[in-house]
Amino acid sequence: MASANPHKAVEIAAVLAEAMPAVKIVPRPSELGDVAEDGETLADNALIKARFVCAAAGEPSIADDTGLEVDALGGAPGVHSARYAGPEADPVANLSKLMAALGEVPPPQRTARFRTVVAVVLADGSEILADGVVEGTIATAPRGARGFGYDPVFVPDEAAPLTFAEMSAEAKNQISHRGRALRALAGRL
């Protein structure tokens, strides 16, 4: 796996285990370090990471990139979701910036979607992409203790009024953008 994010590793392993129980997901070796996610799209970033780890480790690699697209913000933070509050920002700062940017935007105008693109790069150089989207809205205040990133404010249409952070991991994986992308990917492998 090209990510060192432990939350992401657990989520990816849980979803892929359903469709591909023989596949073992291991985190990126720490000695490989980070790779710059400087692509213009989510697909670009997923491929950058998967190619880097595959080339360095000589093993098939899976990577993803996720963006939160908020309609009232013209699609922002989008591809910059992980660095929305700046290159060294943490999830709390990103969430604070999002909530400040939305300010007094009323709930009906807080429509948004999470989009994930998953990339697999195989040792022979072949590449497989899959994506997943979940529509929803942005809550007026964070709610819930589970999940990570923007989960406390994202209310998926299919589970309203719950935020992702209020849902069990199993329930979230059934409807999440990453879960959908991974299931689409499993169907192509």
Burial class of 152 by CB neighbour count within 10 A (0 to 12, 13 to 18, 19+): buried
71 is known as an active-site residue: no
Helix and strand numbers (H, E) in the chain are 5, 5
Residue from 34, 38, 64, 65 carrying the catalytic annotation: 65
Using CA atoms, how far apart are residues 62 and 109, in angstroms rounded to an integer?
A: 35
Distance CA(7)–CA(147), nearest Å, equals 8
- Give the H/E segment covering residue 115: strand 111-121
What is the four-CA torsion angle of 134, 49, 33, 31, rounded to 10 degrees?
110
List all residues 6 or more positions away from 150 whose beta carbon is below 8 Å from its beta carbon. 68, 81, 91, 94, 95, 98, 114, 164
At 131, which helix (H) or strand (E)? strand 127-138
Task: Give catalytic residues, as residue numbers.
Answer: 65
